[in-house]
């Protein structure tokens, strides 16, 4: 079992997500005494008899004033069984793009619903985004179960409706767990509640501690976007030429045959340098400097890849976009595509389809993509890049679409047809 779980929260506004995250931090004793004292004082000032645990999470003044989460924040906590990195994402429709950011590296997502409202439009939208990003495990936290009198029938209806929706998105029923919780009073969060004797499953924390999580695959093809070329040209290192960056996928060892893309030039890894000295092997997520056997014309934005398992080199990609801008996307628009460390100009070609996350159907040939739409689009690039299908290699199968006028992020893109 992995000792680290990366998870994200998602859900609609006022479903108690901030309170749930605060409860997890509180119950795992991950809150400093002075933080808890401050929250207790603020709660008393608001006329509350118990600490408002959401104040542990909504740290921005604008968040506290509006009672909503705006930005993605990362929380760190641990139990004796596992460590956790939690991406706390907003619930408001306007900030769905932040959910994409927070869930992009998650191994599990906790999706909240209000037991009084059940599965709503934003629930289905978030589930579609999580499926699009390939988050492998889902937990449906049916929150505020105390406000419906701990009613089993209410919970069952919500759990079954969501399970059907998740299955339609491609999830297996065994990878989706529904838990009745009350974040406010702590029912089934860290401690089993005696008010839900009809629920025989684990508490939320028990599930987070024990859910099997596949480790980062070590058999992935090696991918290394070059971030910086190091040429000291000093008396001690007159001929040193290294290529610095972070390994996006796979592993590398001295002696490995590689190819530099998009040029297609082959060479061999001669050494792996780090600030702490050379390595005999380095894997995904490690920042290193590669030394090659040949003097190759390499610059920032190039991709060094395994010679025998190279990505596709192309100047045209068909991808699934999650459109994140209030400015609609139309065919013919000029944009920038940022893939790894490389940014190229691009022209929007055909808009093939728009996915309707509410009906789980596709609308062919839409005229535009609007804010929060998910669609399949062809992009024609001014230069070739090396890409993988997102389902094979998420780090080199993902990219951003950027507005060339002001640098704003317009869309998150995934290479391949995630939805037909």
- What is the number of other CB atoms lying within 10 angstroms of the CB of residue 38? 14
Cα angle vertex 248, ends 244, 249, to 5°?
A: 130
Query: What does the block give as tokens for 387?
Result: 């890409």
What is the pLDDT tens value at each position of the chain, 420 positions in all? 458 898 998 888 778 888 888 888 888 887 766 677 776 677 666 776 666 666 666 553 343 344 433 345 778 888 999 999 888 776 555 556 667 777 877 889 999 999 999 999 888 888 888 888 888 899 999 999 999 999 999 999 999 999 999 998 889 877 899 999 999 889 999 999 999 999 999 999 999 999 988 665 556 899 999 999 998 888 877 888 999 999 999 999 999 999 999 999 999 999 999 989 999 999 988 999 999 999 888 999 999 999 999 999 999 999 999 888 889 999 999 999 999 999 999 999 999 999 887 777 888 999 999 988 889 999 999 999 999 998 888 889 999 999 999 998 899 899 987 655
Tally the residues of the chain.
Answer: 420
Residue 52 main-chain phi, psi, to 5 deg: -85, 95
- What is the number of other CB atoms lying within 10 angstroms of the CB of residue 155? 22
Bridge partners, residue 114, by sequence: 143
Alpha carbon 106 to chain centroid, angstroms = 5
pLDDT at position 356 is: 82
pLDDT at position 12 is: 81
Alpha carbon 374 to chain centroid, angstroms = 16
Residue 200 main-chain phi, psi, to 5 deg: -105, 0
**Is 211 in contact with 108 (CB distance < 8 Å)?**
yes
362 Cβ neighbours under 8 A, 6+ residues apart: 353, 354, 355, 356, 419, 420
Residue 341 CA to residue 375 CA, distance in Å, equals 24
Burial (CB < 10 A; 0-12, 13-18, 19+), residue 374, is buried
Burial (CB < 10 A; 0-12, 13-18, 19+), residue 55, is buried
What is the pTM (predicted TM-score) of this model?
A: 0.79
pLDDT at position 230 is: 92
Cα atoms in the Cβ-side hemisphere of radius 13 Å centred on 271: 9
Distances (CA, A) of 137 to 106, 167, 393: 9, 12, 18
pLDDT at position 131 is: 87
392 Cβ neighbours under 8 A, 6+ residues apart: none
Query: What does the block give as tokens for 14?
Result: 């006022």
Residue 360 CA to residue 19 CA, distance in Å, equals 31
Is the bond into 164 cis (omega within 30 degrees of 0)?
no
pLDDT at position 64 is: 38
């Amino acid at each position: 079992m992995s000792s680290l779980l990366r998870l994200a929260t998602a859900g609609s506004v006022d479903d108690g997500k901030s309170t749930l995250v605060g409860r997890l931090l509180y119950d795992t004793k991950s809150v400093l005494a002075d933080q808890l004292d401050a929250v207790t004082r603020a709660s008393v000032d608001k006329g509350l008899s118990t600490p408002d645990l959401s104040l542990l999470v909504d740290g921005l003044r604008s968040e506290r004033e509006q009672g909503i989460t705006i930005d993605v924040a990362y929380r760190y906590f641990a139990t004796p069984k596992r460590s956790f990195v939690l991406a706390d994402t907003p619930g408001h429709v306007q900030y769905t793009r932040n959910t994409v950011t927070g869930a992009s590296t998650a191994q599990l997502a906790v999706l909240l619903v209000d037991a009084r409202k059940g599965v709503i439009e934003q629930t289905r939208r978030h589930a579609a985004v999580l499926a699009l990003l390939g988050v492998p495990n889902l937990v449906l936290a049916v929150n505020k179960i105390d406000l419906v009198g701990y009613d089993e029938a209410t919970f069952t209806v919500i759990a079954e409706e969501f399970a059907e929706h998740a299955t339609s998105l491609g999830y297996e029923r065994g990878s989706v767990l529904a838990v009745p919780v009350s974040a406010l009073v702590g029912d089934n969060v860290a401690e089993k509640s005696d008010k839900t004797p009809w629920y025989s499953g684990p508490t939320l924390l028990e599930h987070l501690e024990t859910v099997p999580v596949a480790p980062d695959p070590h058999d992935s093809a090696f991918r290394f976007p070059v971030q910086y070329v190091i040429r000291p040209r000093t008396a001690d290192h007159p001929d040193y030429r290294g290529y610095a960056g972070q390994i996006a996928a796979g592993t590398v060892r001295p002696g490995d045959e590689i190819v530099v893309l998009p040029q297609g030039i082959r060479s061999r890894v001669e050494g792996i340098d780090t600030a702490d000295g050379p390595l005999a092997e380095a894997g995904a997520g490690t920042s290193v400097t590669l030394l090659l056997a040949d003097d190759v014309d390499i610059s920032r934005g190039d991709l060094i890849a395994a010679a025998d398992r190279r990505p596709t080199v192309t100047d045209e990609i068909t991808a699934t976009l999650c459109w994140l801008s209030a400015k609609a996307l139309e065919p013919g628009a000029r944009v920038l595509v940022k893939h790894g460390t490389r940014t190229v100009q691009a022209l929007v070609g055909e808009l093939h389809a728009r996915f309707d996350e509410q009906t789980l159907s596709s609308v062919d040939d839409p005229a535009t993509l609007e804010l929060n739409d998910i669609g399949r689009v062809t992009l024609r690039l001014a230069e070739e890049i090396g890409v993988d299908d997102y389902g094979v290699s998420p780090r080199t199968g993902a990219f951003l679409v950027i507005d060339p006028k002001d640098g704003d992020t317009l869309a998150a893109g995934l290479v391949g047809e995630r939805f037909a």
